[in-house]
Structure 1
Amino acid sequence: MTSHPAIDLTTPPSGTGCVDCEATNGWWFHLRRCAACGHVGCCDSSPSQHATAHYRATGHPVVQSFEPGEDWFWDFARNDVLDIGLELAPPSSHPEAQPAPGPAGRVPQDWVRQLWR
């Protein structure tokens, strides 16, 4: 596949961490990047689930993992993995030195108990 209606291959990510968690001094478990606008949000295991909130607010259905070494896409509208073989504009993940969960210094000691399961 060379294109998808919900994906813009030219838009860079909005940053190296969850935009919304950064704005509220929150923390995240893993990161997801909107394939339409580049918004980086936290995954559904994270306390605030900002990637899903972004989908609900904007209707942008496709995200890609923003974790080092991962390149899978998820379609919220279909509730399924997309096997599309596309590459978004770099960078394709947060910096490898950035911990997960993150960001460093804001993750509570009992973070495992706070994850959504």
Structure 2
Amino acid sequence: MTSDTGIDPTVPPSGTGCVECDAADGWWFHLRRCASCGHVGCCDSSPGQHATGHYRSTGHPVVQSFEPGEEWYWDYATSEVRESGPELAPPGSHPADQPSPGPAGRVPADWASTLHR
């Protein structure tokens, strides 16, 4: 991927969790990081689906997994997964001790039954 995709490898992530879920005391399944502006949002399996919402509101098409050990990218504009791309500014994931789903203390006991599939 190149700079013409809107990726800015110098921008750090917005935090360690989904911006919108944190603001509403919500929870997420997995996290995605916008490769343009660093916004961290929750994945489409999560109740809020905030990463996709961020794409729809901003037009920023490329996200990278924000899960430990994962480096793949997703391009909303082409609906394609990419196994690699530029290294983004650290950190490359949420803290390894942050559970998934997370964050600790906000995940309901019936969380699996509320996932979007």
Which category describes the TM-score, using the shorter chain as reference length?
A: over 0.9
Give, in whole Å, the separation in 2 of the partners of 1:2 and 1:36. 12
Identity %: 73
Question: Structure 1 length normalisation: TM-score?
Answer: 0.96
Give unmatched runs, 5+ long, in structure 2. none
What pairs up with 1:73-88 in 2 under 5 angstroms?
A: 73-88=73-88
Question: Structure 2 length normalisation: TM-score?
Answer: 0.96
Give, in whole Å, the separation in 1 of the partners of 2:109 and 2:84. 38
Report deviation, 1:6: 1.6
1:42-76 Cα deviation digits (max 9, x unpaired): 00000010000000000000000000000000000
Report deviation, 1:82: 2.4
Give, in whole Å, the separation in 2 of the partners of 1:25 and 1:115. 17
Give, in whole Å, the separation in 1 of the partners of 2:103 and 2:84. 30
RMSD: 1.1
Give unmatched runs, 5+ long, in structure 1. none
**1:94: which partner in 2?**
94
**2:116: which partner in 1?**
116
**1:12: which partner in 2?**
12
Report deviation, 1:83: 4.1
DSSP 3-state at the match of 1:63: strand
* 1:30 counterpart = 2:43: no
DSSP 3-state at the match of 2:28: coil
Report deviation, 1:84: 4.1
